[in-house]
Structure 1
Amino acid sequence: MVIVPASPEPPAIAVFARPPLAGAAKTRLIPVLGAAAAARLQRRLTLHALAVAKRSAVGSVTLWAAPDGQQRFFRALRRRCGVDLRGQSGDDLGQRMAAAFAAHAGPLLLIGSDCPALTEAHLAAAASALVDERHAGNDAVFIPAEDGGYVLVGLRHPQPQLFERIAWGSERVMTQTRQRLSEHGLRWVELPTLWDLDRPADLARLVTLAGFAGWGGACRVSNGGNQVCADAGQRAQAPAAFGL
């Protein structure tokens, strides 16, 4: 009798998101977009992240909402996008990510909603690096961010120690994470670096991406080279497949 090895379990995908509340969402962009448009952009980015995760067909998708899943926006996403909805828990980002990994026994990819450049191909590559037999020795996979953090972390098994002693929100996040990985003897792979949408200058890159052309009318470059943005984005459309 020939024994066929079991196929590795495909990773699930966790999408971390914050509510699109005017005055609290995308605060670094409020000076140039205005509070209302910054909130609309947060909404659009969350929809985009979920659409990419679903289209990737890598694995099941769970939306992890902060501070919980009670906001009407998140409940609508659960119904219309066909995803599970969970509330984040923990005092800082590290604790919240560790809790999400602890809630899923198998391999898991975790992303946020701040990287519109993340595609289905990136998720497929990260999944392969984590569970493909050719990469059987990898404990973790990362997509670093230009600002020193990361836009994706994937773990074969929960590793809560990776999220301790990290200066969250600083340019040292990825460097300190590499230190934690080395300290605990873990093997990891890093995929090509991507960018987060955090600063006004990032808006110029945003409008070059498919699905975000509707924001092009919001921004123009002044003669001095400074990014000038009006309160716009009102006509930016949500993914048609979600009906939102």
Structure 2
Amino acid sequence: MTTLLVIAKEPVPGRVKTRLCPPFSPAQAALLAEAALADTLAVVAGLAAERRVLVLDGTARDWLPEGFDVVPQGPGPLDERLAAAFSLSAGPALLVGMDTPQLSAALLAPALAPRAWHEHDAWFGPAADGGFWALGLAVPDPELLRGVPMSVPETGAAQRRRLVDAGLRVGDLPTLRDVDTAADARLVARDAAGSRFAALYARLVPASGPDRADGCRPRPGDGSSPADPR
């Protein structure tokens, strides 16, 4: 059975989803990040797995459901942190980030089917911005991630090419949009009807505006890789 990994950052105002500001305030951006994370964890909690692991930068709070082990993220850049996350599993592992609240069991079903690893050595979920939202490895070799350029528009292509160049049979999951900007949030909320994220977005939009954006500025490396919770 497959180990399910969720890599995430604690939703603290000013430290997550800074590209949502403006029009959202830092506190609102953090609430949206928390809702997206809660939606993701709820889906993963409902899936059969060898083990469910939250690989977390920060402290777990009441948004964490039962059934997860919590492991701190390793040091270093994102490629090293992803490599460290996969090293937690001795068998097949599937990793997702916290930026796709439209995640569903159906979207992950091909990678979790009984014969998912019989015909594929890896599963890859591309993102609309050129990154990726899911990565599965039958044999979690950290070297398949180390050195891949992260948080740039070519991240997804580079990561998939690394898998293919290693001789792996790669299965592709559907393309998803991750939440980096306010425009992304609007489109994802539309696609994630019934989610915590969509409900919160609907409540926040009327109250959002440039006058509420003080104190939130983009940081270098913020965005482009949906596996990056920053």
Is TM more than 0.5 here? yes
Q: CA deviation at 1:76?
A: 4.0
Q: In the TM superposition, what are the counterparts of 1:113-132 in structure 2 within 5 Å? A: 113-128=98-113, 132=114
Q: Distance in 2 between matches of 1:114 and 1:197?
A: 5
Other-structure match for 2:42: 51
Q: CA deviation at 1:134?
A: 6.8
SS for the counterpart of 1:189 is strand
Other-structure match for 1:235: none
Q: Distance in 2 between matches of 1:229 and 1:120?
A: 37
Q: Alpha carbons of 1:133 and 1:36: their partners in 2 closer, same or farther (altered >3 Å)?
A: closer
- Please state if 1:111 is matched with 2:96: yes
Identity, % of aligned positions:
33
Q: Distance in 1 between matches of 2:117 and 2:53?
A: 25
- Please state if 1:159 is matched with 2:144: no
Q: CA deviation at 1:144?
A: 0.4
Q: CA deviation at 1:173?
A: 0.8
Matched residue pairs, number?
Answer: 207
Q: In the TM superposition, what are the counterparts of 1:95-244 in structure 2 within 5 Å? A: 95-128=80-113, 132-133=114-115, 136-208=118-190, 209=192, 210-211=194-195, 212-219=198-205
Q: What TM-score do the two structures reach when normalised by structure 1?
A: 0.78
Q: CA deviation at 1:77?
A: 4.9
Q: Distance in 2 between matches of 1:81 and 1:167?
A: 34
Q: Distance in 2 between matches of 1:109 and 1:30?
A: 31
Offset from partner CA, 1:89-144 (integer Å, 9 cap, x none):
0311111111111111011110110011211111222222xxx4375131100110
Q: CA deviation at 1:214?
A: 3.3
Q: Distance in 2 between matches of 1:216 and 1:90?
A: 36
Q: CA deviation at 1:148?
A: 0.6
SS for the counterpart of 1:48 is helix
**Which of the two has higher C-alpha Rg?**
1
2:107·2:174 contact (CA, 8 Å) conserved in 1?
no
Q: Alpha carbons of 1:17 and 1:230: their partners in 2 closer, same or farther (altered >3 Å)?
A: farther
Other-structure match for 1:81: 66
2:79·2:145 contact (CA, 8 Å) conserved in 1?
yes
Other-structure match for 1:64: 55
2:124·2:160 contact (CA, 8 Å) conserved in 1?
no
SS for the counterpart of 1:91 is coil
Q: CA deviation at 1:178?
A: 2.4
Q: Which runs of 5+ in 2 are unaligned?
A: 213-230
1:116·1:206 contact (CA, 8 Å) conserved in 2?
yes
Runs (4 or more) in structure 1 with deviation over 3 Å come to 75-78, 132-135, 227-231
Paired residue type of 1:198: D
Higher relative contact order (CA 8 A, sep 6+): 2
Structure with the largest fraction of helix:
1
Q: CA deviation at 1:87?
A: 0.4
Q: Distance in 2 between matches of 1:214 and 1:135?
A: 37
Q: Which of 12, 26, 29 is equivalent to 1:21?
A: 12
2:37·2:101 contact (CA, 8 Å) conserved in 1?
no
1:204·1:219 contact (CA, 8 Å) conserved in 2?
no
Q: Distance in 2 between matches of 1:158 and 1:28?
A: 32
2:132·2:156 contact (CA, 8 Å) conserved in 1?
yes
Q: Distance in 1 between matches of 2:109 and 2:26?
A: 35
Q: What TM-score do the two structures reach when normalised by structure 2?
A: 0.82
